[in-house]
Amino acid sequence: DAGITQSPRYKITETGRQVTLMCHQTWSHSYMFWYRQDLGHGLRLIYYSAAADITDKGEVPDGYVVSRSKTENFPLTLESATRSQTSVYFCASSEQEDYGYTFGSGTRLTVV
Amino acid sequence: KNEVEQSPQNLTAQEGEFITINCSYSVGISALHWLQQHPGGGIVSLFMLSSGKKKHGRLIATINIQEKHSSLHITASHPRDSAVYICAVKYRGSEKLVFGKGTKLTVNP
What are the pLDDT digits (tens) for B36-87? 999 877 899 999 999 999 999 999 999 999 999 999 999 999 999 999 999 9
Residues in contact with A85: Cβ distance below 8 Å, sequence separation at least 6, in sequence order: A36, A63, A78, A109, A111
pLDDT at residue number B42: 87
By DSSP bridging, strand B10-14 and strand B103-108 are parallel
The answer to whether A1 faces chain B, any CB pair under 8 Å, is no
Which residue in B42, B96, B101 is closest to A45 by CB distance?
B96
User: Does the pLDDT of residue B1 top 70, yes or no?
Assistant: no
* Over residues B99-109, mean pLDDT: 95
Give the confidence band of B27 by pLDDT, cuts at 50, 70, 90: confident
Q: How many CB atoms lie within 10 A of CB A27?
A: 14
* Over residues A57-84, mean pLDDT: 96
B62 dihedral zone (left: phi>0; alpha: psi -120 to 50; beta): beta
Residue of A nearest to B89 (CA): A98
Taking CB atoms and an 8 Å cutoff, what residues of chain B touch A58?
96
Is there a contact between A43 and B31 if contact means CB atoms under 8 Å apart?
A: no
Is there a contact between A48 and B102 if contact means CB atoms under 8 Å apart?
A: no
The answer to whether A55 faces chain B, any CB pair under 8 Å, is no
Taking CB atoms and an 8 Å cutoff, what residues of chain B touch A102?
45
Please give the Cα distance from B102 to B26 (Å, whole number). 17
* Over residues B91-101, mean pLDDT: 86
Can you state the percent helix, strand and coil of chain B, rounding each to 5? 5, 60, 35
